[in-house]
Amino acid sequence: MNTFALARRLQGTEEYYFSKKLREIEHLNQTGVQVINLGIGSPDLPPHPDVITTLAKEAARPDVHGYQSYRGAKALREAIAAFYRQWYQVELNPESEILPLMGSKEGIVHISMTYLDEGDEVLVPDPGYPTYRAASQLADAVCRNYTLREDQGWLPDFESLSRQDLSKVKLMWLNYPHMPTGALPTQEFFERCVAFARRYGILLCHDNPYSFILNDQPMSLLSVDGAKEVALELNSLSKSANMAGWRVGMLCGKADRINDVLRFKSNMDSGMFLPLQLAAAQALSLPASWYAGLNETYKRRREKVWALLDQLGCAWNPRQAGLFVWARIPAGWSDGFVFSDAVLHQTRVFITPGGIFGQQGLPYVRLSFCQPEPVLDEALQRIRHMHIPIPENTRI
């Protein structure tokens, strides 16, 4: 039998953690009590009814089933521009500064393959979304961790970075509101990011899918003067519009850079289904009441997750945005992997170990709000049967 060597680009890239863990959870489901999954941030609520109606109506037309523009439908690009103007006070040219994507995760890979060569260095947050590292490695680049610490508000230490040799750094990944920690940005912080990138000739890539979840002040890095000269921003409808499975995202930035990424992307796909794009345009026009209602649901769920964390003896900061709570595990546990597995196998409740997001995440876990309140109540009841010491003053 012939054997084929794995491509070198994959030898340092493992299967995504959740891909493997979901197989384990499926096995557990077949052997007894169903696992309650509090690990993955996949919204369980539906999109707005108008979005679904638009998809169904447009899909019934006979003339929408062919290949679409590689740049995306004009209606969607104009809706993205209007959305950025309304919510972020950012002006974008829909003809040249916007590229619709099949989810922002796709965009992370597209950007990496567009700009990175073998030996280029990339600043990757630790803790941070694992796909930043994986995409960089697939492009044969070298990952340089920049440490985020709880006592520094989970923000980059630009003074420390400035003392390092950054001559080979081509790209820096940012993500605020931050996942997994929920840390929020300020305008001053974004201004420092842009100044840092200008000083060292680094392309900032800001991943911004969580700005509407439990956050009263949505922000865009592109709102900073001069940001388009040094930055690209990814955004998504997965979280804010409950459209994770629809795979609709966007890349925004200077026209030259949008064209750069399009050179790669146009060789990877043949455009997005037009009714899907028109439904996404409808989602981008939803009123403020949509986000307010969504956040009221997440606030109620958050209270239940906090109660669950109290029961587990974890410590956390209540000032977090996004679909998760980031919490420090109790003393006496070696890391979040061991703690998560203990919870899973004793209670059939899965929580994400923070170590999948980097070394700085080892003493933490992450819990999702993407389950109905009765399911969260059931998870709490199961966890009450665990024998874990509960330290005092768990909230930071």
Give the Cα separation of 128 and 5 in Å (integer): 30
Strand-strand pairing, 98-101 and 249-253: antiparallel
pLDDT, mean of residues 166-172: 97
Residue of 343, 369, 105 whose CA lies nearest to 213: 369
The predicted model gives 7-19 an average pLDDT of: 67
Strand 231-236 with 249-253, pairing: antiparallel
pLDDT at 302: 97
Give pLDDT, residue 73: 94
What is the predicted pLDDT for the residue at 395?
46
Q: Find residue 44's DSSP bridge partners.
A: none
For β-strands 142-147 and 121-126, DSSP reports them as: parallel
Q: What percent of the chain has pLDDT over 90?
A: 83
358 pLDDT more than 70: yes
Orientation angle between helical segments 74-88 and 274-284, nearest 10 degrees: 20
Q: Give the burial string for 55-74 (b: 16+ CB within 10 Å, else e).
A: beebeeeeebeeebebbbbe
For residue 212, give the nearest of 234, 231, 237 by alpha carbon.
237
Domains and their CATH numbers in the chain: 8-46+289-383 (3.90.1150.10), 49-285 (3.40.640.10)
The model's pLDDT over 91-115, given as tens digits with 9 standing for 90+, comes to 999 999 999 999 899 999 999 999 9
Tell whether the model's pLDDT for residue 244 goes beyond 60: yes
> Residue 14's pLDDT is what?
59
pTM here is 0.92
**198 CB neighbour count, 10 Å cutoff:** 15
CA distances from 142 to 47, 161, 249 (A): 39, 16, 26
Residue 1 — pLDDT band, cuts 50, 70, 90? Answer: low
pLDDT number for residue 25? 79
C-alpha pair distances (Å), 47 with each of 88, 144, 353: 22, 38, 29
Closest C-alpha to 90, from 249, 238, 208: 208
